[in-house]
Amino acid sequence: MPKTIFERILDREVVADIVYEDNHVLAFRDIAPQAPVHILFIPKQHHARHAAVPPEHHGIFSHLFAAAQKVARQTKLDQTGYRLVINNGPDGGETVPHLHLHLLGGRHLGWPPG
């Protein structure tokens, strides 16, 4: 299987604007931001998508959400509000098959999503 663009970012083969890293998670700015702040959180271990994470690896969900909370505080989005999104599969709008959590904020976000 060829590497996804996110695995290439993890392996530092592709440059990204990295804003956070810990033992489990890497976070970087989305290349096509949909809000003034748009950051992606990816697990260092490869999982194609939310639905593909086996129970023994469910700990990655807490690592992703905890990292997003830290960055929301660093960027002060916790003071104004933000949205966390995971797009899963074709109907979910997934375009990169490596699990990722979007952090969006810095403007009012409409609901329902398109």
Binding site for ligand AMP (CB under 6 A): 5, 14, 16, 28, 30-32, 40, 87, 93-96
108 catalytic, yes or no?
Answer: no
Q: How many CA atoms lie within 13 A of 36 on its CB side?
A: 12
CB of 29 to ligand AMP, least distance (A): 7
Q: Strand pairing of 82-85 and 37-43?
A: unpaired
Catalytic one of 57, 100, 102, 108: 100
CB of 88 to ligand AMP, least distance (A): 8
Q: Give whichever of 51 and 79 is closer to ligand AMP, judged by the CB atom.
A: 51
CB of 20 to ligand AMP, least distance (A): 14
Q: How many whole angstroms from its chain centre is CA 72?
A: 12
Residue 73 one-letter amino acid: R
Q: Look-up: residue for tokens 């905890």? A: 66
Q: Give whichever of 69 and 86 is closer to ligand AMP, judged by the CB atom.
A: 86
Beta strands in 1-114 (DSSP E): 18-21, 25-29, 37-43, 82-85, 101-105
Q: Give whichever of 23 and 95 is closer to ligand AMP, judged by the CB atom.
A: 95
Write out the catalytic residue numbers.
100
